[in-house]
């Protein structure tokens, strides 16, 4: 199955979250990317697949959320680099750790839109998309590359968040200490 779109459903109930997840997976041929509790007692389900399957899965999940729906989102034509960054499967080699860029948002699901815009805007390695776990329901992404590319990526991601009014902050560190990448090498 081609992963070309990402769909998310965020609900305020853990119990309902499991039902939403089940409905999403039974309704459409999608791949489960993330399903877990997140800060403030919420539950998030993230699926990938072709655009129509993802739309169907998200619609099915949102339909049974019954008063617990916080957000639903479908992001079509997602850059392929976003999927491994969400799942935490990006392995950086020491020679790939150049400038470091970070964008932080108030919304877990919106960070995927921001990360997608960033990696489409510049030649960077997107190595982490963090969805709300242990960060108060916020999201952030991290990327690396040459300084100009990282600046362009961070600006593109931040622009998306700023338009939605959910930008918390950004950072571009031109020559970071190796310890900043330690958990990724």
Look at residues 103, 88, 77 and name the one whose alpha carbon lies nearest to residue 7.
77
Pair type for strands 31-38 and 42-49: antiparallel
- pLDDT category, 185, cuts 50, 70, 90? very low
5-75 and 82-184 agree in CATH topology: yes
Arch. (CATH architecture) of 5-75: 2-Layer Sandwich (3.30)
The answer to whether 43 and 11 are in contact (CB under 8 A) is: yes
CATH 3.30.70.1710 corresponds to the domain 82-184? yes
pTM of the model: 0.81
User: How confident is the prediction for the chain on average, in pLDDT?
Assistant: 88
Look at residues 139, 113, 167 and name the one whose alpha carbon lies nearest to residue 39.
139
What are the residue ranges spanned by the domains of the chain?
A: 5-75, 82-184
**Separation of alpha carbons 97 and 145, rounded Å:** 7
């Amino acid at each position: 199955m081609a992963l070309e779109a990402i769909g998310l459903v965020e609900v305020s109930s853990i119990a309902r979250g499991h039902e939403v997840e089940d409905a999403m997976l039974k309704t459409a041929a999608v791949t489960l990317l993330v399903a877990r509790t997140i800060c403030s007692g919420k539950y998030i389900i993230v699926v990938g697949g072709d655009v129509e399957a993802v739309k169907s899965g998200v619609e099915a999940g949102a339909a049974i959320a019954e008063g617990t729906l916080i957000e639903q989102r479908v992001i079509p034509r997602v850059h392929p680099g976003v999927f491994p960054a969400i799942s935490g499967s990006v392995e950086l080699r020491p020679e790939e750790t150049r400038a470091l860029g970070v964008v932080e948002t108030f919304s877990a699901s919106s960070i995927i839109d921001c990360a997608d815009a960033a990696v489409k805007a510049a030649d960077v390695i997107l190595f982490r998309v963090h969805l709300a776990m242990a960060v108060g329901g916020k999201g952030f992404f991290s990327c690396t590359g040459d300084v100009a590319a990282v600046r362009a990526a961070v600006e593109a991601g931040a622009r998306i968040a700023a338009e939605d009014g959910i930008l918390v902050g950004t950072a571009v560190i031109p020559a970071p200490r190796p310890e900043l990448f330690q958990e990724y090498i």
